[in-house]
Amino acid sequence: MENGYRLELRNISKSFGEVQSLRNVDFKLGQNEVVGLLGDNGAGKSTLIKIITGYHHPTEGEIFFNGQKIDHLTVPKARDLGVETVYQERALAELQTLWRNIFVGRELTNAMGFMKVKEMKAETNRLMLESMGFTSMAVSPDSIIKTFSGGEKQGVAIVRALYFDAEIIILDEPTMGLSLKETRKLLNFVRDIKAAGKSAVFIDHNIFHVYSVADRVVVLDRGKVAGEFMTADITLEALMEKMYRVAETGSFD
Amino acid sequence: MSSTAEKSGAEQSLQQPREKLTFTRFLRAYGTQLGILTVFAAMWIFFIVAAPTTFLAPQIYLAFMSTIPFFAIVALPLTMLVIAGEMDLSFPSLMAIGMVAFVTVFNATGSVLLSLLAGLVTGFLAGLMNGVIVVGIGIPSLVVTIGTQFFWRGAVLVLLGGKGSTLVETRETFIHSLLVGKLWGIPMQMIWLVVIAIGTWVLLNRHRFGANIFVIGDNKQTAELMGINTARTRTLMFGLVGLAAAFGGILASLQVSFFWPSLGDGYLLRTLAAVFLGGTSVFGGVGTILGTFIGAFIIGAIEAAIVAIGLTGFWTQLIYGLIIILSVSMHAILRKRIG
């Protein structure tokens, strides 16, 4: 913990064939900090978070967790380091049951890999009642995800991220397709992450949402960090003004 | 399977709608399996009415238990492969190439045990090769396995000069009676089928490997985002189908004490029909072992029924083809409805 950052990316570049989607990006996430990631479509937000989650591997650059350099970050390794993600596409297996989706990729098993199905169903049932707010009797751990509403699906994705004791929670466009009420619930949930002493990266198109929950805002533009601001030091109007300028000219000034 | 989920309702007071919901939930969860059981019962009754002398005599059921396992044993892991969103059309040739290894080792050493192991290992490796090509190079499995089907069939013919091989000397050995002998009058291959059915059920429904299979077939990107090694899982699944194909081929050959280079040729259609009739979705993500198990017996019985009812054997292909088309279409329609 020499430098005190929960997560630090240094000089990260990523290209897919000819397309360079990230160029020399530096990104830091402090202990108990919520960072909002803003940027237009194609700015590299999703690529950046998929590097943090170990799904993509950077072409260049270094990744540090709690000051320790991590080589060859993979999805399971990132999870072990406490990174949990609520993906834009929600990453649910729609034809499968609720309990299978909660535990996908890390089922409770014995040493031989045989699953403890009863325990997982009981755990899912508890999470449903306590955290997901499913009171509808039509939903059980054996319900198929496909039958759920958009908000319910998002609830599943969020509860899944929280269940496994995350230290860093990444939310990729979590408000997409949610109703107003569901959105408000989600923003409160991000505040709860902060109150629980954890860190989060919050990605959203909606500048109002990001401004209202983030401690710091990082603006990406065409694969580069265009600038960053502490939300305490800048008004929403000033931030919006700057965002427009970036979109038009590629710089803040 | 289990009813641990029922606890949640205890605190909730409205009982009447809950009953209904539990029933529909039950239907949704086990609908396809109930469906296949209904089809099974209906066809059985139809066969008995249509050809009572055949279908009321015990001999026909002993015959089923003797011949159906040869392809049903392949249909079970094939079900898992189809659930994972892949397909294997090469297994008939893998049945034969496994037997080439068996015959070669048997002629060289005279040991049935070594021959058995050589056959199984060869089938497993040939199956893995399918997986490596599909996953590593990224070609649809349907195309790859059409290619390997011809490749391995060709290899069988080239290696043995197109000739068959007698297996009469394997009789009287312990392994022969262990594989295709009889236990209390029941053919051993039937017992192997039941053992493998239980094994694949456990692997699919109670093991992490099977959980990964379901997610991969459902949504491969989700599987990858959730850290599942989709390449390794799929490759291994192709290997398991190859292993089962070799085993089925060995059983079928030992049963008749002869290896025909055309071994497996007639099994493609009926094995696929068993899988799809059993309710496994051609789109992946959905399927059951029980469905395939029963599907295999329906398919096997149809052939006997066609002859018993008095139609010629020419009808079998037509009817198998029809069953594949109907069951796949029915699943596609149901899937749209539920969504």
Whether chain B has a CB inside 8 Å of the CB on A41: the answer is: no
Six token digits for residue A220:
């990406």
Mean pLDDT of the B248-260 span: 93
* pLDDT band (50, 70, 90) for residue B21: low
Nearest Cα of chain B lies from the Cα of A190 at a distance, in angstroms, of 22
- So what CATH class is B32-338? mainly alpha
* pLDDT band (50, 70, 90) for residue B6: very low
Amino acid sitting at position A112? M
**Residue A105: its chain B contacts at CB < 8 A?**
212, 215, 223, 226-228
Q: Bridge-partner residues for A28, per DSSP?
A: A8
Mean pLDDT, rounded, of chain A: 84
Q: Are strands A34-38 and A216-221 parallel, antiparallel or unpaired?
A: parallel
**Residue A54: its chain B contacts at CB < 8 A?**
227
Whether chain A has a CB inside 8 Å of the CB on B16: the answer is: no
Residue ranges per structural domain of chain A = 1-82+166-253, 93-164
Amino acid sitting at position A60? E
Residue ranges per structural domain of chain B = 32-338
* pLDDT band (50, 70, 90) for residue A136: low
User: Residue A79 above 50 pLDDT?
Assistant: yes
Q: Are strands B186-187 and B182-183 parallel, antiparallel or unpaired?
A: antiparallel
ipTM over 0.85: no
Pick the CATH number of A1-82+166-253 from 3.40.630.40, 3.40.50.300, 3.40.50.460, 3.90.230.10: 3.40.50.300
Whether chain A has a CB inside 8 Å of the CB on B282: the answer is: no
Other beta carbons less than 10 A from residue A192's beta carbon: 12
User: Residue B1 above 60 pLDDT?
Assistant: no
Q: pLDDT value at position B146?
A: 95
CB spacing of A138 vs B208 below 8 angstroms: no
* CA distance from start to end of chain A: 36
Q: pLDDT value at position B11?
A: 34
Model confidence, pTM: 0.83
User: Residue A251 above 80 pLDDT?
Assistant: no
